[in-house]
Amino acid sequence: MDLKLEYSSKSLSAEKAGALVVLVPEETDWSLCGAKELPEDVQNVLESVRKLKVFSGKKGTTHHVVTGNGNWPQVLLVGLGDRKELTAEALRRAAGKVGRLIPSLKSTTAALILSGSLEHVTTHALGMVLAEGLGLGAYEYTEFKSSENGDLPKSVRVKLVDPEKLTDSKSVKAGALRAEATNLARSLGNTPPNVLSPSELAKRAEAMSKRQKLKFRVLDESEMRKLGMHMLLGVGQGSEEPSKLLIMEYRHDKASDTVAIVGKGITFDTGGISLKPSKGMDEMKFDMCGAAAVVGAMQSIAQHKPKVNVIGVVAAAENMPDGKAQRPGDIVKAYNGKTVEVLNTDAEGRLVLGDALAYVVDQFKPTAVLDLATLTGACIVALGHQACGAITNNAELMDKVRVAAEQSGERVWELPNYPEYAESLKGKHGDLRNIGDGDAGTIIGGAFLQHFVGETPWVHLDIAGAAWSVKHVDYHPSGSATGVGVRLLTDLVLNWN
Ligand code: BES
Ligand code: ZN
Ligand code: ZN
């Protein structure tokens, strides 16, 4: 379903729509929710809902009312819970629920009333988080469904009606763009692995770059060989699909800093010769969600035009077992000259990222570099699906990431990076090995990557748990990609100076 967002600061009495959505904090007077501008008969219906106590505004609850009024034939009430505990993220989730439910109202128009009950969420954030939640909640991946859900509308226009001018059209627009870019990342993640090869990922990143007027370049295998990126090439050598390194550049005339963002783009991770068990292996189509976040973030960044240069890099390869595949025990040389013993071919993300990080640090000399990767199953053990894990070499950059995480609702939790962790990565016959001794898997993954960023301030985000299977957030579809990272990276660079 396609959701089109509009904004109006007119009174509700100047509007009409197939459905009215009212966000209701628990036990609040209806008039506080903007309902006093509704025709009297609709107000009476709402009043009887309250008298009957079928809906009290409890968090997570919704109530659907048919009014009999021609201008507002139905009302959807959405509970926000305790007003004092109302946060931007709670509103985003409530709007997400609305986005998800809206097609079932079978109307092609709807209005959502903004009112004093939401006043203490800051003006700027209010329109943005509501638009974001609506756009994210309405998302569905239907590319491969041959029949559409016949009686549901294909497109709905939702107007945010804001008579008290609590927000503005600009922030609604920003929220819509952020949702759109996140949905782009989600669709990349959801696309099946027989379709989304490294070459196809390159094509789609190129199409995005063209639309947003970003400079775009692909390094193919022969160019990577010349550059000495043998860690990346080793991962892809068992696949019929050639590996690719994608580079997208956003520039601002007045920028003094450059931020590089690097994504793991394993379009399918079988584990290679260290083959994964078959149960759940289909989910390894999501092993390119770090890359998807980078592509989505580059779109969003190009549209928001922050005063900082941003280089987006995607390390794309398919990890397959084959006669030509890399073996456990192989020793490969990285872009930065370090040699690595590949003891487990399933720890491939750090190999492709290591080369991509070393390349971007060397070629672009960024002020800071971030990488996003579905790097370790251990991250899901540690944090579940509730947060991304973070490893850093720079407390200041980590603080910036924490602020962006808080703003975007994309939670990040820092894990320690004590030097002792790195010891188990010392190689026997090479400089490094690609696995540790089995403990602290997520930290070890980060510690490996640290060898490829030199002194550049760096944050590694392990998005293994947050990239899909997130069930507790109303604006995320539970069985598919979340697009995590897009909004966080957007906020990080928008806050930069
Ligand atoms: N892509 C996986 C990590 C993963 C697994 C993410 C399950 C989300 C869900 C990664 O390439 C991998 O296989 N990592 C290994 C590392 C180990 C061999 C050190 C892992 O987590 O088991
Ligand atoms: Zn793997
Ligand atoms: Zn992987």
Q: Which residue has the higher pLDDT, 352 or 125?
A: 352
- pLDDT per residue over 190-225, tens digit each? 999 999 999 999 999 999 999 999 999 999 999 999
Is 0.95 surpassed by the pTM of this model? yes
Q: How many A from CA of 49 to the centre of ligand 3?
A: 51
DSSP at 275: P
Ligand 1, atom nearest to 465 Cα: 8
pLDDT at 124 exceeding the cut of 80: no
CA distance 313 to 293: 11
Q: Provide the token pair at 323.
A: 């006669």
What is the reported pLDDT for 367?
98
Model confidence band, residue 133 (pLDDT cutoffs 50, 70, 90): very high
Catalytic entry in 16, 59, 173, 276: 276
Ligand 1, atom nearest to 467 Cα: 8
Model confidence band, residue 341 (pLDDT cutoffs 50, 70, 90): very high
Going by C-beta distance under 8 Å and a sequence separation of 6 or more, which residues neighbour residue 205? Answer: 216, 246, 248, 295, 298, 314
- pLDDT per residue over 241-278, tens digit each? 999 999 999 999 999 999 999 999 999 999 999 999 99
What is the reported pLDDT for 1?
86
* Strand bridging mode 330-333 / 215-219: unpaired
pLDDT at 299 exceeding the cut of 70: yes
CA distance 94 to 125: 14
Residue range 58-84: average pLDDT? 94
**Residues around the ion ligand 2 (C-beta < 5 A):** 269, 346, 348
Q: Which residue, by CA, sits nearest to atom 16 of ligand 1? A: 347
CA distance 445 to 373: 10
Ligand 1, atom nearest to 346 Cα: 13
Catalytic entry in 93, 244, 285, 350: 350
Which of the listed residues 346, 379, 385 should we mutate to test ligand 1's pocket, taking the one with most ligand atoms within 8 A of CB?
346
What is the reported pLDDT for 300?
98
Ligand 1, atom nearest to 436 Cα: 19
Q: How many A from CA of 285 to the centre of ligand 3?
A: 9
Q: Which residue, by CA, sits nearest to atom 13 of ligand 1? A: 346
Q: Which residue, by CA, sits nearest to atom 3 of ligand 1? A: 376
Q: Provide the token pair at 349.
A: 């993300």
Q: For the chain, what is the mean pLDDT?
A: 96
Ligand nearest to the CA of 462: 1
What is the reported pLDDT for 148?
67
CA distance 137 to 97: 6
Least Cα distance to 486 among 261, 272, 281, 276 occurs for 261
Q: Which residues pair with 81 in a beta bridge?
A: 25
What is the reported pLDDT for 21?
97
Q: Is 350 a catalytic residue?
A: yes
pLDDT at 413 exceeding the cut of 90: yes
Q: Is 276 a catalytic residue?
A: yes
Helices assigned H by DSSP within 269-328: 289-304
